[in-house]
Structure 1
Amino acid sequence: MDIPVAPAVYALIIANIALSVYALSFNRSFAEEFAFNVGALIKHKQHYRVFTSSFLHGDYFHLFFNMMTLFFFGPVVERILGTDGFLVVYFGAILTSGIVSFYANRDNLAYTSLGASDGVSGVILSFCLFFPLEPIYFLFIPIGIPAIIFGVLFMLISARMMGGGGRIAHEGHLGGAIAGVILTLMMRPDLFVHYFG
């Protein structure tokens, strides 16, 4: 079996694992210093947190789930869009997620989030555009959901769950997913014609 050449994906996985393990096992305050936090953005203008937060995770399951998802979907998207195109989708999703999360929670200075889910959401939705009928299996559900249906449901559920509290940053997922769709269509307008032409 040929392993797709995906240097950006593998570099991101290594960086996420290294930084997350350091924060989880050796220096808990590291995550607090670099997590996305509305108060830090407003009071201290620490805008870098929008990006640094995406390399940190709340626990090892969170890290494993995000990296496993990136490992399965990322190389395919990087092969199709090229490394530069893949990075545009990934970091564009992170930036958009940060903007959406900030405005959705701008009155809550204590709001904090972390994890690569924003960038990964962008990659998944990009994949869905290229392979709309490919079955996607979610956790332990044995029946695959067609990618395009999965993508639509993912965005609808994320939008519905925004502001509901809990540990999942649904607004970040939605922002990342929307960016994944828009940026992919901008780089591959032939997909737009395919779906809407």
Structure 2
Amino acid sequence: MDALLQSPITLALLLLNGAISGYALLVDFSLIDELSFRPARIRERGEYYRFLTAGFVHAGGAHLAFNMITLYFFGPLLERILGAGAFLILYFGSEMTAHGLTYLYHRTDSHYAAVGASGAISGVLFAFCLYAPLTMLGVMMVIPMPAILFAVLYVAVSVYALGNGGHAGGIAHEAHLGGALGGVVITILLDYPRPINAFLREMQTLIG
């Protein structure tokens, strides 16, 4: 909890996501549709605000909880490494790249809609992998796996899913992939060469 209190951006993002998603889910469900990411509406009506607002509403309590738990565990560490301003750029930059790739795939689909902070969270998670690729993660809170292995599997699954429809299983794989790629590139640009050096150093310990 002390680490979170010393991470104002992470704390603010947790509170904003909780407040906006909670209000939409419990009080005004129509808000989810009004704020969701709808590429066709953006293209036809210029509703560009959806690139940002979609990241603050979620499809349900479990969706919200999973994203916020991930942010809770990895946000403070990255905010401490990068600084508050750079972490803010990483978070929203990853959301923009996630929605950017989603827009390219679904810009003509009038029925497509997506919500959630998953793209931004993917960027945060992959940024963490640059600094600590061998750290053991509890995938699905249970399965132990080094961060780099999780990252490779994550990308492989997303690429496979994109080749088979993209929105398989109700999961916006293109947003996950876009956020992950954005997180890696943005982190390197913000903190070059430290994340590359950290990654290579840990990989060298792995291969001896």
Normalised by the length of structure 1, the TM-score is 0.94
> 1:192 maps to what in 2?
196
- In structure 2, relative to structure 1, the CA distance for the partners of 1:184 and 1:137 (3 Å cut) is same
The residue aligned with 1:173 is 176
SS of residue paired to 1:77: helix
Distance (whole Å) between structure 2 residues aligned to residue 95 and residue 22 of structure 1: 24
Corresponding residue of 1:113: 114
For residues 103-182 of structure 1, what are the structure 2 equivalents within 5 Å? 103-142=104-143, 144-162=144-162, 163-165=165-167, 166-182=169-185
Looking at structure 1, the residues matched to 138 and 176 of structure 2 have their Cα atoms a distance apart, in angstroms, of 18
Q: What SS does structure 1 have at the residue aligned with 2:170?
A: coil
Runs of 4+ in 1 over 6 A off after TM superposition: none
Query: CA-atom RMSD, angstroms?
Result: 1.7
**1:192 alignment partner AA:** I
- For the Cα contact (< 8 Å) 1:118–1:172, is it kept in 2? yes
**Deviations for 1:118-151, whole angstroms, at most 9, x for unmatched residues?**
1110000001111111001111534x21111211
Larger deviation, residues 20-29 vs 146-155: 146-155
Structure 1 residue 194: Cα displacement? 5.2
Q: Are 1:77 and 2:78 an aligned pair? A: yes
SS at match of 1:91: helix
TM-score when scaled to structure 2? 0.89
Q: Does 1:32 align with 2:68?
A: no
CA distance in 1 between partners of 2:23 and 2:2 (Å)? 32
Q: Name stretches of at least 5 consecutive residues in structure 2 with no aligned partner.
A: 202-208
- For structure 1, which runs of at least 5 residues remain unmatched after alignment? none
Task: Quote the Cα distance in structure 1 between the aligned partners of 2:117 and 2:145.
Answer: 23
- Superposition deviation, residue 160 in structure 1: 1.5
Identity among equivalent positions (%) equals: 39
CA distance 1:136–1:160, change in 2 (3 Å): same
Moved more, 156-165 or 172-181: 156-165
CA contact (8 A) 1:38 1:110 kept: no
1:15-64, Cα deviation, whole Å (9 max, x unpaired): 00100011111111111111000221011100110110000000000001
Per the TM alignment, residue 178 of structure 1 is displaced from its structure 2 partner at its CA by 0.3
Alpha-carbon distance in 2 for matches of 1:102, 1:123: 21
